[in-house]
């Protein structure tokens, strides 16, 4: 399903309910939606996201956005030192070195 306002969804058929059921993925909040037909599911997804954003605004709560782009990891101090030295030797930031390795 296409991205909508930065949110993604997972949609499946529920034999028990006899319809398509979806949920927004990548957030801590639970955002669910459903539809009886394939041509209705995208509109239901958009409506669920819009309702969620409206509810957050009316309650003065910041909406949970999927994936901020920040990724914090813990490692042994020795590994941290080795990586920092490799980054410096490559004239890169530690962040750039780690990003390059993750992309590879």
Domain ranges in the chain are 8-59, 71-104
49 Cβ contact list (under 8 Å, min separation 6): 4, 5, 7, 24, 31
Lateral strand order in the sheet of 32-35:
8-14, 19-25, 32-35
Q: What is the helix (H) or strand (E) element at residue 91, kind and residue range?
A: none
Tell me the pLDDT band of 14, cut-offs 50, 70 and 90. very high
Q: Given its phi and psi angles, is residue 21 left (phi above 0), alpha (psi -120 to 50 degrees) or beta?
A: beta
3-state SS, residue 21: strand
The per-residue pLDDT for 71 is 84
Residue 65 binned pLDDT confidence (cut-offs 50, 70, 90): confident
pLDDT at 52 over 80: yes
pTM recorded for the entire structure? 0.68
Describe the chain by its helix, strand, coil percentages, rounded to 5: 45, 20, 40
Residue 97's pLDDT is 94
CA 19 to CA 16: how far, in whole Å? 8
């Amino acid at each position: 399903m296409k991205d909508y306002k930065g949110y993604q969804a997972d949609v499946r058929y529920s034999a028990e309910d006899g319809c398509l059921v979806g949920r927004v993925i990548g957030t801590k909040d639970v955002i669910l939606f459903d539809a009886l037909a394939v041509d209705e599911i995208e509109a239901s997804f958009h409506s669920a996201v819009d309702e969620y954003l409206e509810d957050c605004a009316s309650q003065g709560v910041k909406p949970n956005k999927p994936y901020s782009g920040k990724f914090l990891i813990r490692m042994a101090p020795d590994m941290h030192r080795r990586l920092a030295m490799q980054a410096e030797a490559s004239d890169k930031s530690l962040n750039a070195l780690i990003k390059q390795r993750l992309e590879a």
